[in-house]
Amino acid sequence: MADNNTFVLFEEIKNKLETIYRELKELKEKENGSVSLPVQSTPAQSDEQKEQELLNQYEQRTKDVINKYIGVQVRIKDEEAKSIDKLVANVLTMLHEWQEKKEHPIPQEHIHRHSFDLKSSKVFTAMVAVSILCLVSLVGNYFLWQSKQQYKDDALKFRIIRVWRGFIAMLQ
């Protein structure tokens, strides 16, 4: 916003200075061509007085333009000071928030993800080892089941023999 206003004011100053320059140039041409000056004057005034009046007018216009330029510079400096104050306040606020976060950190949740690439030799070796362990476990379980079945059959036979011996003894 300040840059846009500054640009507009500088354009105004430039235009006024160009106008003053053109008017001075026209006055010099009129003096050389002996044409009357645009300023209304009484016949009693001499050429020096006319030139002095014109010079005073242009001097006043130039001072007005310079004063306007100085006013613009003062406004720009004020706006810069305000924006620097805002910046400092924002930085201090951020530092305060940072210190609070440092003193009281927010716990963060860690998510662990693992991916296994079968092309890796370590992963492949581990997979083969686990497969062999599973196979050995299955074979061991099968043999254990068979022996358990054998014990069940043997227990059944033993009971039958006991029952028949007792039955045979009763018959005799």
Instruction: Quote the pLDDT of residue 137.
Output: 96
* Residue showing tokens 């196979």: 135
CA distance 132 to 124: 12
pTM of the predicted protein model: 0.33
**Tens digit of each residue's pLDDT (9 = 90 or more) over 15-50:** 888 888 788 778 777 777 654 445 554 554 577 888
Return the structure tokens found at 105: 């950190």
Instruction: Quote the pLDDT of residue 142.
Output: 95
CA distance 7 to 11: 6
Spell out the SS3 assignment of 49-65.
Answer: HHHHHHHHHHHHHHHHH
Instruction: Quote the pLDDT of residue 167.
Output: 63
CA-based radius of gyration for the chain: 55
Residue 6: name the closest of 85, 74, 64, 101 by CA: 74
Give 169's pLDDT tier (boundaries 50, 70, 90): low
> What share of the chain in percent tops pLDDT 90?
10
- The half-sphere exposure of 16 on its side-chain side, counting CA atoms within 13 A, is 18
- DSSP string covering 121-153: HHHHHHHHHHHHHHHHHHHHHHHHHHHHHHHHH
